[in-house]
Structure 1
Amino acid sequence: MTASTAQDAVTAGFIVIGDEILSGRTKDTNTGFLADYLTAIGIDLSEVRVVPDETDRIVEAVNALRERYTYVFTSGGIGPTHDDITADSIAAAFGVTIDVDPRARAILEAHYPPGGLTAARLRMARIPAGADLIDNPVSKAPGFRIGNVHVMAGVPSIMQAMVDAIAPTLKTGRKMLSRHVDADIPESRLAERIGEIQAKFPETLIGSYPRTSDGRFTTQIVIRARDEDILEQATAAVQDAVSITLA
């Protein structure tokens, strides 16, 4: 990737938090959603980590990714139960205090009927010092943003609504464009030529994906780039390589 292309890129890391994901009790759908969403608005999702409900592991992941990427997003662990420790862990990662936030408390008081804001539910109003709230139009308990880290719920419908809420605040880069070429041959026969094309067009990302059709191996080559002219040139080179190999 060239220097100009790197400057155009806005990057992100995603931390999926929860023992239930690692045990298989809950199937993660948030990663696929976020990858599609960020790609569509011009942000490269560059790394995903799945970590357990352990403070040290969450702190380690947050501190590593927030230094590496433009944005970090997290999902899970901001609910009302004892094992929802994400907010505390984020506070620890930033070295700030955490307490019931009056803004978050007001949101929850308005949402629940009189007497409905129990001690457990009030845990969802605990926000690290200095953080901004992320709107939750589904169940009202807010997420929060501190530095470049955006902390959201794990329930997919709520997480998706929170992403919609923060999207207008995000800096976006040039969108990654893509083309694909289908080849009726195994990828091993194309590997050398595709490698040469990748070296000739360093601004592109070229992936080779084997498939099977009627018991035969075929290949789909996906070419990605931010510059449309370069993308078309690289795609034409791949098409030529396929034609030569088939001849």
Structure 2
Amino acid sequence: MEENVEKPVTAAVLIIGDEILSGRTQDTNLRDISRYFGVHGVDVVEARVVPDVLEDVVAALNALRARYDYVVTTGGIGPTHDDITADCVAAAFGVPLEEHPEIIAGMIARSGYELTPARRRMARVPVGGELIRNIVAGPPGFTIGNVFTLAGVPNIMRGMLEDVGPRLKGGKITISRTVRVTGTGEGVIAAPLEAVAKAHRSMSLGSYPFNGPQGVGSNLVLRSRDPDELAIATAELIAALAEKGITQVEEVDPAS
């Protein structure tokens, strides 16, 4: 009889904008979304960066939302002509856009003067969409189906995440442990790491080499939803490294 294994809850991030692809802007949103979703029991397992081309965004969005439980888009909800994310999301869901009265009212309250056509672009939401509160600055984001559409500006995006979190239906949280090996290259580490990985196929094991003031080495990161299996695999890995004569081994804080 097969063991009843809980299916992980997954997400993808769709980063929209020519400025990311050109290298003019460095993306940090993927890191922040992955960490935030992980705390809520949702694994970000894919990310794509697409240009400001409607057909490309729609194709990527439709592919991702069909494959994963959630999709987060960042960027392209501002007032300029190349801010086309709202158009793309509406096209992907086959619905029209409409100016949301709550956004319009908020803009008028903040500005105190008549809105320009450019500012009104930021009030457009796909029909059937719900607003995502923006606690930092400017208009809100929105959600429709399993898609969350957030700002591209990092601090505004992070503020919007606070309203996304309560809407997530996550699974068991993935936890990690890190074994740091110094004074040894990956060529020696590879065999014991592979042996433990094969013995614990439901887990994720990865090697992240470094070469700096502390010398040559690798951080071996083990990730699992099962804390007991994680502890067993960590002990097995340390023992397997010792059998290979690797003695400069310590378990460290995963964040270090």
Q: TM-score range by the shorter chain?
A: over 0.9
2: CA distance between counterparts of 1:211 and 1:241? 21
2: CA distance between counterparts of 1:225 and 1:5? 13
TM-score between both structures, scaled by the size of structure 1: 0.93
Normalized per residue, which structure has more helix?
1
Which AA in structure 2 matches 1:163?
A: L
- What's the counterpart of residue 186 of structure 2? 187
Q: CA deviation at 1:3?
A: 7.1
- What's the counterpart of residue 142 of structure 1? 140
Which AA in structure 2 matches 1:54?
A: V
Q: CA deviation at 1:104?
A: 2.3
Task: Mark the runs of 5 or more structure 2 residues left unpaired by the alignment.
Answer: 247-256
2: CA distance between counterparts of 1:152 and 1:214? 39
Which AA in structure 1 matches 2:243?
A: I
Q: Secondary structure of the equivalent of 2:178?
A: strand
Cα distance change, pair 3–150 in 1 and its aligned pair in 2 (3 A): farther
Q: Which runs of 4+ in 1 moved over 4 A?
A: 2-6, 213-216
User: Does the CA-based 8 Å contact 2:11-2:68 persist in structure 1?
Assistant: yes
1:209 equivalent in alignment to 2:208: yes
Task: Mark the runs of 5 or more structure 1 residues left unpaired by the alignment.
Answer: none
Cα distance change, pair 100–30 in 1 and its aligned pair in 2 (3 A): same
- What's the counterpart of residue 253 of structure 2? none
User: Does the CA-based 8 Å contact 1:15-1:51 persist in structure 2?
Assistant: yes
2: CA distance between counterparts of 1:98 and 1:175? 36
Moved more, 46-55 or 195-204: 195-204
Tell me which of 154, 161, 169 is aligned to 1:163. Answer: 161
1:93 equivalent in alignment to 2:103: no
2: CA distance between counterparts of 1:49 and 1:4? 32
Cα distance change, pair 23–213 in 1 and its aligned pair in 2 (3 A): closer
Q: CA deviation at 1:216?
A: 5.2
Q: CA deviation at 1:212?
A: 2.1
- What's the counterpart of residue 50 of structure 1? 49
- What's the counterpart of residue 19 of structure 1? 18
Q: CA deviation at 1:131?
A: 0.5
User: Does the CA-based 8 Å contact 1:183-1:220 persist in structure 2?
Assistant: yes
Q: Secondary structure of the equivalent of 1:203?
A: coil
User: Does the CA-based 8 Å contact 2:141-2:150 persist in structure 1?
Assistant: yes
- What's the counterpart of residue 218 of structure 2? 219
User: Does the CA-based 8 Å contact 1:203-1:225 persist in structure 2?
Assistant: yes
Q: CA deviation at 1:219?
A: 2.1
2: CA distance between counterparts of 1:121 and 1:146? 22
- What's the counterpart of residue 37 of structure 2? 38
User: Does the CA-based 8 Å contact 1:15-1:50 persist in structure 2?
Assistant: yes
Q: Secondary structure of the equivalent of 2:216?
A: strand
Q: CA deviation at 1:195?
A: 1.3
- What's the counterpart of residue 252 of structure 2? none
Q: Secondary structure of the equivalent of 1:246?
A: coil
1:131 equivalent in alignment to 2:129: yes
TM-score between both structures, scaled by the size of structure 2: 0.90
User: Does the CA-based 8 Å contact 1:5-1:226 persist in structure 2?
Assistant: no
2: CA distance between counterparts of 1:148 and 1:87? 15
Cα distance change, pair 215–229 in 1 and its aligned pair in 2 (3 A): closer
How many residues are paired up?
A: 244
1:120 equivalent in alignment to 2:118: yes
Q: CA deviation at 1:23?
A: 0.9
- What's the counterpart of residue 199 of structure 1? 198
1: CA distance between counterparts of 2:54 and 2:3? 37
Which AA in structure 2 matches 1:182?
A: R
